[in-house]
Amino acid sequence: MERTKILVTGGAGYIGSHAVVELYEAGFMPVIIDDFSNSRESVLTGLEQILGVRVPFHRVDCNDAEAMRAVFAEEGNLRGAIHFAAYKAVGESIEKPLEYYQNNIGSLLTLLQVMREFGVEALVFSSSCTVYGVPDKLPVTELTPTKKANSPYGATKQMCEDILRDVAAAPSNRLKTILLRYFNPIGAHASAKIGELPLGVPQNLIPYVTQTAAGIREKLTIYGDTYATPDGTNIRDYVHVVDLAKAHVVAVQRLLDGKGEVVETFNIGTGRGNTVLEVVHAFERATGQKLNYVIGPPRPGDVPAIYADVTKATQELGFRTTATLEEALASSWKWQQSLAAVS
């Protein structure tokens, strides 16, 4: 039987590449679009090693409507799309707001336009818990009010959600969409053939931790220990990227089955919050590595604490995460070691 084709924009990226694996293993045919603006071609080799086949790939910028049309025309029978492709660095977005608005909003608009032209009606969108800003109450549910974003990056996620709600509500519309609000993705595929590939000095916690343990960085700086949390460091909900990837398979299937409303929003996290120090100690336990770290000043813009209420995803999507924090961290370390072995 022919596999159902799903377009995966940003399919060579961190979350996108893991979703490609899970989609293929669930019986879909992921069709990757990526321009390698924040990923590497070697990801395609890793995917081929895991899957045993080379899935269709198009080197295209999602803002390029003509090139996007060519992909839809060539593939012929795309049934849905997952839109991962976006710029994602909070700090960089403050330096380059125009590029962030242009790329993140522009690519969604172009994708929606081309999807409509080709009659593709199912879209899963990568949103973020950043839309909640600094929440008044924890854990956050999908009904927790969104707050003014504290970066242009966060603002693009809120705007993209608004655009999708407006488009889906239009009387002539045929689009059905699921907005997945990711918490903090960590970890790597068990094979260690794909994982997070930060270009330059990592901004995110886990790649900084693994690079420190590998001797690439001298020490981790923990950004502040005077927050109103049990040990004073920030709380986040760290979700294994393979669990997160599986949520996309469930969401795509739900759209294709015609279940649910025209727009639905789900938190995708574990429902657990961990402090930065807990993560450091869990990493040490999971890997046997001693981590060199210091406490530094708070990072501007950091939310003191956020973690997900996952009741809605559990009840309506039937989705729950399975990996423990230690398992996720062990997979990150295995990936870091495989990187060190090739470079």
Other CB atoms closer than 10 Å to residue 178's CB: what's the count? 25
Which pair of structure tokens corresponds to residue 42?
């070697």
Binding residues for ligand UFG restricted to 145-184, rule: CB under 6 A:
154, 184
Task: Choose the stretch contacting ligand UFG; rule: CB under 6 A; options: 56-64, 100-108, 221-229, 309-317.
Answer: 221-229
Size of the site for ligand UFG (CB under 6 A): 20
**Strand-pair category, 220-223 with 293-296:** parallel
Question: Based on CB atoms, which residue is closest to ligand UFG, 44 or 86?
Answer: 86
Binding residues for ligand UFG restricted to 183-202, rule: CB under 6 A:
184
217 sits near ligand UFG (criterion: CB under 6 A): no
Question: Based on CB atoms, which residue is closest to ligand UFG, 13 or 80?
Answer: 13
62 sits near ligand UFG (criterion: CB under 6 A): no
Non-local (6+) Cβ contacts of 238 within 8 A are: 183, 184, 185, 186, 206, 270, 274, 279, 325, 328
Q: Is 87 a catalytic residue?
A: no
Binding residues for ligand UFG restricted to 248-287, rule: CB under 6 A:
276
Q: Least separation, in Å, of the C-beta of 125 and ligand UFG?
A: 14
Q: Least separation, in Å, of the C-beta of 11 and ligand UFG?
A: 18
Q: Least separation, in Å, of the C-beta of 155 and ligand UFG?
A: 11
327 sits near ligand UFG (criterion: CB under 6 A): no
Q: Classify burial at 217, counting beta carbons within 10 Å of its beta carbon; exposed 0-12, middle 13-18, buried 19 or more.
A: middle
Binding residues for ligand UFG restricted to 86-105, rule: CB under 6 A:
88, 90
Indicate the angle between helix axes 14-25 and 42-51, nearest 10 degrees. 20
Half-sphere exposure of 259 (CA within 13 A, CB side): 9
Which pair of structure tokens corresponds to residue 203?
């901004």
Q: Choose, from 153, 182, 238, 307, the residue flagged as catalytic.
A: 153
DSSP state, residue 302: -
Contact (CB, 8 A) for 321 and 249: no
Q: Least separation, in Å, of the C-beta of 65 and ligand UFG?
A: 27
C-alpha angle 28/30/31, rounded to 5°? 145
Question: Based on CB atoms, which residue is closest to ligand UFG, 61 or 196?
Answer: 196
Question: Burial code of 30-62, b = ≥16 C-beta within 10 A, e = fewer?
Answer: bbbbbbeebbeeebbebbeebeeeebbbbebbb
Q: Least separation, in Å, of the C-beta of 193 and ligand UFG?
A: 23
Q: Least separation, in Å, of the C-beta of 304 and ligand UFG?
A: 9
Half-sphere exposure of 187 (CA within 13 A, CB side): 26
Q: Which of 223, 260, 289, 337 binds ligand UFG (CB under 6 A)?
A: 223
In Å, how far are 11, 51, 333 from 44, measured between CA atoms? 9, 10, 21
The mark string for 117-136 relative to ligand UFG (x by CB under 6 A, - otherwise) is -----------xxx------
Q: Which of 299, 312, 314, 327 binds ligand UFG (CB under 6 A)?
A: 299
Integer Rg of the chain from CA? 19
Residues near ligand UFG (CB under 6 A): 88, 90, 128-130, 154, 184, 203-205, 208, 220-223, 234, 236, 276, 299, 302
Which residues are the active-site residues? 153
